[in-house]
Structure formats: structure tokens, C-alpha cells
Structure 1
Amino acid sequence: MKKTKPTIFSLGHSNVSIWVFTQKLKENKIKILVDVRTIPLSRFCPHFSQKPLQKTLASENILYLYRGRNLGGRGVNTEYEETIDEVVDMVKRGEKVCVLCSEKDYRKCHRYTLLTPSFEERGVTVFHIEYENENKTTKHSK
């Protein structure tokens, strides 16, 4: 029997409605959302700022974790590897985890350029959720 690799999901909120966003999470059975935005605020879409988002997710039984201080795309952080390992451990325990940033196109986001290689090095497949197209499982090429 072939064992499937652990999978983590990735999603950018962009300017979609909170309803569309939560539907995507529910379609993919996400139970933990890890916010990897350096600054968890949105002036243009306030429903994606940390407190309102956390409240909405709680009403959908999705746990919100902020890890942007360590996994954000700006600057070097000494706790980066440790925090990547924390997220990978959740995935390997069978949790349905999704990392969140604001950029809709994962190819233009640190979810792809920085986090995806780190997850893949640890044996985790990254599945990028998209709004218009089919979701994408990527293999990051260096």
C-alpha cells in the first residue's frame, strides 16, 4: 500500500469576500489556519485583519494561529526553522493546515518562494488553493 505524503495547504486572501474565503477553507476541510503575514492587518479588506478573521474562523470551528513574526516574508528570523518544524509537526499528526498570506497568486508570494521549499525539504507536499482555477500541487524548483 502506497503511503501518501503529508500535505499542507496554502491560500492568499486577496480582496475576496469572507464568505468565499471560508468556503474555500471548508471545501478543503481546513481545521487550522496559520497566518504567515508579517503584519496581520488589511486596510482594504478589514475582514482579513487579525481580530475579525480570528472571530470568523472560530465561528467555523477553524483554529487561527499567527506565525507571521517568524514565517513572514520580511527579514531574517532566528526562529524560522523552529516554527516551520512546528507547522510540519501539525501536518504530520494529520491536521488539515493552511498557511495564509494576502497575495492571491502563490507564485508571487513568500508562501511559494520561501515556505514551499522549507516544507518540501521536510517531506511535506504543498497544495495551493486557488479561487478561479483548479487547486495546484507544486514542486518548487530551485
Structure 2
Amino acid sequence: MAPKVFTIGHSNHLFSTFLELIQEHDINLVADVRTNPYSKHSPHFNKKPLQKSLEESLIKYVYLGKNMGGKPRDKKFYHNHELIYHRLEKDEKYQEALNELIKLTEKNQIVIMCSEEDPKSCHRHHLIGQSLLKKGFEISHIRGHGDTDKVEMDFQARLV
């Protein structure tokens, strides 16, 4: 059976709603993959308050956004100001973070967290989810209404 990983966008949820969504799937570790782990509109999702609230709920927190974030600073990952996912996927630091994430799945039920509710507009679908699919993982997005969407390999990702 393929190892399973969930993803979620915190959106503008209350922390209690977010917690319910992840607890429904027995999540015990949140992997934050935001380049900048802060939210103007939902400050309870800023790195420190989020980490504290999760730990109080007996859920571990790990920050991987420095090397897995969808807004890297290095211009080599962009073309006409658009992130080219396969360029970032081949980066050594991204691969190190991906391997760390995979290692964490061995003993944890993980949710990869970013800010966008819709995974189709987020790098957790177009980049991280695709990287994990290539390694044999089953990926499901937890949507804001509580349902899950199973992730399929993107056509573009198959070409890389």
C-alpha cells in the first residue's frame, strides 16, 4: 500500500476549524511549506502562534518552506516572473527538504500546509504533490468544506 500524505491550505479558517479538518484525518504533524510563514489576514497562522497552538493540541510542527516554498528568491527558478516548477524540483536544497519530508512520513501522519485553500493554485499541488507522486505516495488535498480530493499526476509533471 502506498504511503499517504495530505495537504491543506489554511485559508482564512479559524484555528479551531483548521484543527478539526486535520484531526479528522489523524494528522500528528503539520509540515509548513510557505516561503514566508506569516498571514496578514489570519495571524493565528503566523509561524510562532501556529506552532504553539498545534503543540498544545499534541500535533508536531515542522517548517520546510525555506527550501520547499513556492516563492524562492533565486531568479533561476523563474521565466517571465513565473515559477518553473521542474527547475525548483531539481534543486539540491529542494531535494534535501523533500527527503526530510519523506523521512518524517515514516513515523507520522503528515499534512503539508500552505495558505491557498484551492490546491490547484498552489505549489503544494503543482510541485510537492507531484514530487511525492513520482515516489509512489498517495496524496489527498483536504478542502475547506472537509472533503478530500485525490491528487493525480499532472501531464506536465510526467514530462520531467
The aligned counterpart of 2:158 is none
Residue of structure 2 equivalent to 1:85: 99
Separation in 2, partners of 1:11, 1:29: 14
Q: Which residue does 1:32 correspond to in 2?
A: 29
> Residues 65-121 of structure 1: CA distance to partner in whole angstroms, max 9, x if unpaired?
000001100234531011111111222x24101100000000110001111110011
Considering only CA atoms, is the larger Rg found in Structure 1 or Structure 2? 2
What's 2:125 paired with?
112
SS at match of 1:83: helix
TM-score, normalising length from structure 2?
0.82
- What is aligned with 2:150? 137
**Alignment partner, residue 13 of structure 1:** 10
% same residue: 33
Q: Which runs of 5+ in 2 are unaligned?
A: 73-87, 156-160
Aligned-residue Cα RMSD (Å) equals 1.2
Whether the aligned pair in 2 keeps the contact of 1:112 and 1:140 (CA below 8 Å) is no
8 Å contact from structure 1 (residues 6, 94) kept in 2: no
Where in structure 1 are there 5+ consecutive unaligned residues? none
Residue 68 of structure 1 corresponds to which residue in structure 2?
Answer: 65
> Runs of at least 4 residues of structure 1 off by over 6 A?
none
Q: Deviations over 1:17-65 (max 9, x none)?
A: 1100011111111011000000000111100000100010001100000
Given that 1:106 and 1:112 are in contact with CA atoms closer than 8 Å, whether structure 2 keeps it comes out as: yes
Conserved 8 A contact 2:6-2:110: yes
Q: How many residues align?
A: 138
3-state SS of 1:99 partner: strand
